[in-house]
């Protein structure tokens, strides 16, 4: 009996082992592969992020360009070593950039939630318009601008747009609500077409857009002015250098810029009216004087000292700007042709006119002369939001807001599916009021030896005219060449003994209008 029982139990164990082995050999059902799905809700190029209801689009471009007789992105030779035409200037400057964009969108009960970001990986010729080796020293007196350093294998990453959009709101770094859709690019390659607003690289802001139907919209926003929208406030008691520039005595920001637009965007084109309010404030009445030249030792110009706070400050004022913009599409000259133009008037908000995608330039250019005894000719223009001379130093102590106006535009023509050209230009004017002129000229003329026909007038005009031709042999690959003329119309007359920045000598210079021409060539692949 015991033997039979053992036999039965052994047989059962064997059967269980066999059934277990067979079960282990059975194929396990694989998880379903989740393929990438095309998202057609927001246009070409979007796909769903696997496992989510969010659509994403990756894109960007790779751009290589070189500018002759100018700085990167066709900046004219209007200042620095290029403006001087000295031995330190580079006869050409190049930049290579790869821009990567990430665009995500999700449909919600409140509408689409969108995020967008763009990062630019770039490497270029060091410097902009100033490449004097003294700029790159480690001397605390001269300063070191590490942003200008491009060692082999280096370069840097720049951030353009980074924003979130939700229910009509935009939060983050984007174009101002004041801007047109083309910003500073009605038809040009150059990032330095003056005459109007340009936040193409973005500014920190909060804005809200309302759609009224039939292509009519309205947008209001608050912009952070620190990085983009401040030129200079000069305390004239700190002095003015040979090219009429002083140390910047802007106070800290107490209020954002209030901006907005009303826009009509339809099949025939676009019309827009924009407005901006901008706070202008000076720091203190008593400040340190202009900084020493590179290589010298001095406290930075317009920096505070022990007397600054008790000396008081000028009363804060509000300035602002208005702009009108027009685009006409599909004009009779050809399919896809258009014409764009915008005009701006500003008071105490000069960056809205003398504007680039970077800082507002001041101008200092040198040229030839036929005047007996003169070494060279010179032309300059100082870009400010306001100037003031404290009563302690003989002025009225008030901020005198700078007035500026400008116009720019372009005609864009397609010759055929492969060739296109744009003719573009701008005109800008900067004006100082009567008191500001008297105070600036009194400070500038101190200690100078001037000619009998010398007259001082800080007003100036600048104009530009250019043409760019593009060839697109295959889709999304474009070769282009741009030629641009720049003219500085300065208002000083006669001559004076001046001490410009080294290596220029301290000697007699004739005041004269100046001109320069630049050439930019570019290849770009969009993806």
Condensed to tens digits (0 to 9), the pLDDT of residues 27-36 reads 555 555 567 8
Nearest partner of 202 among 388, 351, 358, 68, judged by Cα? 358
Write the pLDDT tens digit of every residue in 108-136: 998 999 999 999 999 887 666 666 655 55
The residues facing 413 across adjacent strands are 421
Q: What percent of the chain has pLDDT over 70?
A: 86
**Longest alpha-carbon distance in the chain:** 140
Q: What percent of the chain has pLDDT over 90?
A: 80
Report the number of distinct structural domains present in the chain: 1
- Rounded to 5 degrees, φ, ψ at 307 are -100, -5
Residue 266 · residue 215 · CB < 8 Å: yes
Q: Is 494 within a domain?
A: yes
Q: Is 37 within a domain?
A: no
Pairwise CA distance, residues 362 & 387, whole Å = 15
Q: Which residues contact 87 (CB under 8 A, 6 or more apart)?
A: 503
Q: Is 250 within a domain?
A: yes
Domain with 467 in it: 52-526
Q: Is 18 within a domain?
A: no
Structure tokens at 33: 């592969």
More confident residue, 460 or 16: 460
Write the pLDDT tens digit of every residue in 385-415: 999 999 999 999 999 999 999 999 999 999 9
Nearest partner of 428 among 319, 504, 313, 346, judged by Cα? 346
CA–centroid distance for 365 within its chain = 22
Quote the mean pLDDT of the chain. Answer: 90
Q: How confident is the model at residue 16 (pLDDT cuts 50, 70, 90)?
A: very low
The residues facing 428 across adjacent strands are 406, 462
The residues facing 195 across adjacent strands are none
* Mean pLDDT value across residues 158-162: 94
Q: Is 17 within a domain?
A: no
Structure tokens at 466: 């250019």
pTM of the model: 0.88
Q: Is 7 within a domain?
A: no
The gap between the terminal CA atoms of the chain, to the nearest Å, is: 85
* Mean pLDDT value across residues 215-238: 95
Structure tokens at 311: 């000396």
pLDDT of residue 223: 98
Q: How confident is the model at residue 297 (pLDDT cuts 50, 70, 90)?
A: low
Structure tokens at 163: 């924003």
* Mean pLDDT value across residues 31-48: 84
Pairwise CA distance, residues 283 & 116, whole Å = 37
- Rounded to 5 degrees, φ, ψ at 216 are -100, 130
Report the 10 Å Cβ neighbour count for 365: 27
Q: Does the pLDDT at position 142 exceed 50? A: no
**Is residue 266 classed exposed, middle or buried when 0-12, 13-18 and 19+ CB atoms within 10 A define those classes?**
exposed
Which residue do the tokens 């008030």 mark? 398
Q: Which residues contact 119 (CB under 8 A, 6 or more apart)?
A: 99, 100, 157, 158, 159, 160
The CATH number given to whatever domain includes residue 363 is: 2.40.160.10
Beta strand 386-388 pairing with 233-235: parallel
């Amino acid at each position: 009996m015991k033997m039979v029982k053992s036999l039965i139990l052994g047989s059962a164990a064997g059967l269980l082992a066999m059934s277990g082995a067979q079960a282990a050999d059975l194929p396990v059902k694989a998880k379903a592969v989740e393929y990438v799905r095309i998202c057609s809700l927001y246009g070409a190029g979007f796909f769903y992020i696997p496992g989510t209801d969010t659509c994403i689009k990756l894109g960007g471009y790779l751009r290589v360009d070189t500018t002759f007789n100018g700085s990167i992105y066709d900046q004219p030779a209007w200042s620095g070593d290029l403006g001087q035409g000295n031995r330190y200037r580079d006869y050409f400057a190049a930049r290579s950039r790869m821009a990567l964009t990430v665009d995500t969108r999700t449909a919600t009960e409140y509408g689409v939630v969108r995020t967008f970001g763009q990062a630019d990986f770039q490497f270029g010729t060091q410097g902009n318009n100033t490449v004097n080796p003294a700029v790159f020293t480690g001397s605390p007196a001269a300063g070191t601008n590490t942003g200008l350093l491009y060692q082999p294998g280096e370069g840097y990453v720049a951030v353009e747009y980074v924003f979130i959009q939700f229910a009509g709101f935009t939060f983050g770094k984007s174009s101002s609500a004041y801007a047109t859709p083309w910003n500073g690019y009605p038809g040009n390659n150059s990032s330095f077409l003056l005459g109007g607003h340009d936040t193409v690289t973005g500014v920190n802001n909060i804005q809200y857009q309302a759609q009224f139907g039939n292509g009519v919209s309205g947008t209001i926003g608050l912009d952070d002015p620190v990085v983009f929208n401040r030129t200079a406030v000069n305390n004239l008691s700190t002095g003015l250098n040979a090219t009429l520039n002083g140390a910047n005595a802007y106070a800290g920001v107490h209020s954002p810029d209030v901006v907005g637009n009303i826009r009509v965007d339809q099949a025939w084109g676009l019309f827009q009216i924009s407005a901006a309010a901008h706070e202008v404030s000076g720091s203190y009445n008593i400040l340190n004087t202009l900084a020493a030249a590179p290589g010298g030792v001095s406290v930075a110009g317009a920096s505070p000292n022990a007397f600054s706070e008790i000396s008081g400050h000028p009363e804060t004022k509000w300035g602002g700007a208005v702009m009108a913009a027009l685009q006409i599409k599909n004009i009779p000259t050809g399919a896809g042709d258009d014409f764009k133009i915008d005009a701006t008037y500003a008071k105490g908000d000069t960056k809205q006119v003398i504007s680039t995608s970077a800082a507002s330039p001041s101008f200092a250019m040198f040229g030839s002369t036929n005047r007996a005894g003169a070494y060279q000719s010179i032309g300059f223009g100082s870009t400010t939001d306001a100037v003031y001379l404290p009563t302690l130093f003989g002025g009225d102590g008030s901020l005198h807001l700078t007035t500026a106006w400008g116009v720019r535009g372009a005609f864009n023509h397609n010759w055929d599916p492969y060739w296109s050209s744009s003719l573009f230009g701008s005109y800008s004017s900067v004006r100082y009021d009567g008191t500001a002129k008297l105070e600036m000229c009194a400070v500038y003329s101190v200690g100078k030896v001037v000619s009998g026909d010398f007259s001082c007038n800080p007003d100036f005009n600048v104009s530009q005219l250019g043409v760019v031709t593009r060839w697109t042999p295959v889709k999304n690959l474009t070769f282009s060449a741009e030629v641009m003329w720049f003219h500085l119309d300065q208002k000083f007359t006669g001559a004076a003994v001046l001490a410009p920045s080294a290596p220029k000598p301290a000697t007699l210079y004739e005041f004269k209008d100046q001109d320069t021409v630049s050439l930019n060539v570019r290849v770009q692949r969009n993806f």
